[in-house]
């Protein structure tokens, strides 16, 4: 796992300090994770097979969305809407 936090590109001494972090996982290295929950989600990403209650919930949601045309559009609308909202917020700053 690699952890990143927000730092100014022009001046590396300035941090955003908004509490956000980004985590990057190598799903192919799931077996190396000591954390059982992280290993389960990484295995799910690679194999698309649920192995615990959390990945079972994800699988149920995926199945529901795949079978519901209205839900597919809703997810797309939310993603596009969120992206546009974030872009507008950035322009205001």
Same structural domain, 66 and 29: no
Same structural domain, 39 and 63: no
Q: Is the confidence at residue 70, as pLDDT, over 70?
A: no
pLDDT of residue 19: 81
Q: Is the confidence at residue 82, as pLDDT, over 80?
A: no
User: Is the CB of residue 6 less than 8 Å from the CB of residue 22?
Assistant: no
- The strand pairing partners of 3, in sequence order, are 23
Same structural domain, 22 and 61: no
Same structural domain, 81 and 43: no
Same structural domain, 39 and 65: no
Same structural domain, 91 and 79: yes
pTM score > 0.85 for this model? no
Instruction: Of 48, 49, 42, give the one whose Cα is nearest residue 25.
Output: 42
């Amino acid at each position: 796992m690699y952890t990143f936090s927000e730092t100014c590109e022009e001046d590396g001494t300035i941090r955003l300090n908004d509490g956000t972090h980004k985590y990057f996982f190598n799903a192919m290295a799931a077996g190396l994770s000591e954390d059982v929950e992280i290993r389960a989600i990484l295995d799910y990403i690679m194999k698309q097979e649920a192995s615990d209650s959390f990945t079972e919930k994800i699988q149920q949601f995926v199945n529901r969305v795949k079978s519901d045309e209205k839900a597919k559009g809703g997810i797309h609308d939310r993603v596009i809407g969120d992206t546009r909202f974030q872009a507008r917020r950035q322009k205001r700053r």
